[in-house]
């Protein structure tokens, strides 16, 4: 795939380097919107590139997870700056971040499903064939991720994406302070989370999808608070703490729901149908327990 096709600007000769002495914690309200974007984006980009390079030879579950997180953080950052970056630039970059996160997430999804199946196996040894099959699927997912995530192409894409964003921002907001802008974008993310949380609390039909929407909105807000905390005023530590707690419950529920969907939509040639069905029934029972806990955590942040 030619990931440079949609990026008309010439590729920089050298990729952006991160000044490790300058982190988000060193940002101040005197920084401009443009310079703050660069300072926040480059460390995440560097991490994504290093993770992508490592995955060429490694199959560490945490590495796949952290690569997916890096792309999610970049999507949140581009959303925050979208009023100045423009819809087209934001959409192009965000779509590719989403695609790459999904490719990296394939292995992580089978890691989670495998862990859940091993837990189920403790109470029902007969599902061992499905546990073994999940290991094989995980190995296939690793090979697919490694084939699809070309670290050189990822590095070039990210360099071009940042170059385009920097050119745009420096041309229109290099002298505009970050504080008011950061507060406004955080407030918008907070409103979205509150709106989705209330909808989930009130919803009966499509409750699982509503909880998933809350989880995504919560992630976006958490990432923005982590990015902008040094330059926004207010007590956000309490918000971060509440978000972390809610995200934990929502994450556990999502892991089970996603694993159930993954197993239901996968063909296992060597696994008896009744074994798959017993595993799905076990996941459904656990999901029903987790959905209550997740719903309570959402109610707590919907007020």
Q: What is the pTM of this model?
A: 0.85
Contacts 24+ apart (CB under 8 A), 85-94: 85/165, 85/168, 85/169, 86/168, 89/164, 89/165, 89/168, 92/6, 92/7, 92/161, 93/161, 93/165
For 287-298, what is the mean pLDDT?
Answer: 87
pLDDT at position 141 over 50: yes
Q: Is pLDDT above 80 for 238? A: no
**Residue ranges of domains in the chain:** 24-301
Is the pLDDT confidence value at 176 over 80? yes
Residue 237 burial by CB count (10 A; 0-12/13-18/19+): exposed, middle or buried?
A: exposed
Name the β-bridge partners of 177: 32
Neighbours of 17 (CB within 10 A): 8
Question: How high is the pLDDT of residue 15?
Answer: 47
CATH number attached to the domain at 24-301: 1.40.20.10
Provide the percentage of residues in the chain whose pLDDT is more than 70: 89
For residue 114, pLDDT beyond 70: yes
pLDDT at 13: 38
Q: Of the candidates 274, 293, 292, which has an alpha carbon nearest to the alpha carbon of residue 282?
A: 274
Could you give the CA distance from residue 137 to residue 107 in angstroms, rounded to a whole number?
9
Lowest mean pLDDT among 88-97, 158-167, 170-179: 170-179
């Amino acid at each position: 795939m030619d990931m440079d096709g949609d990026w008309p600007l010439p590729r920089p000769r050298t990729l952006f380097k991160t000044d490790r002495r300058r982190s988000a914690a060193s940002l101040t309200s005197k920084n401009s919107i443009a310079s703050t974007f660069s300072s926040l984006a480059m460390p995440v980009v560097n991490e994504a590139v290093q993770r992508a390079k490592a995955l060429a030879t490694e199959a560490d579950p945490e590495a796949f997870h952290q690569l997916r997180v890096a792309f999610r953080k970049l999507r949140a950052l581009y959303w925050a700056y979208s009023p100045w970056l423009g819809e087209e630039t934001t959409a192009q970059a965000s779509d590719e971040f989403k695609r790459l996160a999904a490719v990296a997430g394939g292995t992580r999804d089978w890691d989670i499903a495998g862990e859940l199946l091993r837990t189920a196996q403790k109470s029902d040894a007969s599902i061992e064939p499905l546990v073994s099959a999940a290991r094989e699927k995980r190995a296939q997912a690793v090979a697919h991720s490694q084939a699809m995530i070309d670290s050189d192409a990822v590095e070039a894409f990210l360099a071009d994406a940042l170059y385009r964003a920097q050119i745009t921002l420096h041309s229109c907001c290099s002298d505009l302070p970050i504080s008011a802008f950061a507060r406004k974008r955080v407030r918008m993310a907070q409103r979205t989370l509150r709106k989705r949380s209330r909808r989930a609390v009130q919803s009966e039909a499509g409750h699982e999808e509503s909880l998933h929407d809350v989880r995504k909105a919560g992630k976006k807000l958490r990432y923005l608070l982590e990015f902008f905390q040094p330059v926004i005023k207010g007590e956000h530590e309490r918000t971060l703490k509440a978000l972390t707690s809610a995200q934990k419950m929502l994450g556990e529920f999502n892991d089970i729901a996603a694993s159930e969907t993954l197993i239901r939509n996968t063909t296992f040639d060597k696994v008896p149908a009744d074994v798959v069905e017993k595993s799905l029934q076990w996941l459904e029972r656990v999901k029903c327990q987790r959905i209550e806990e997740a719903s309570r955590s959402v109610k707590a942040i919907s007020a």
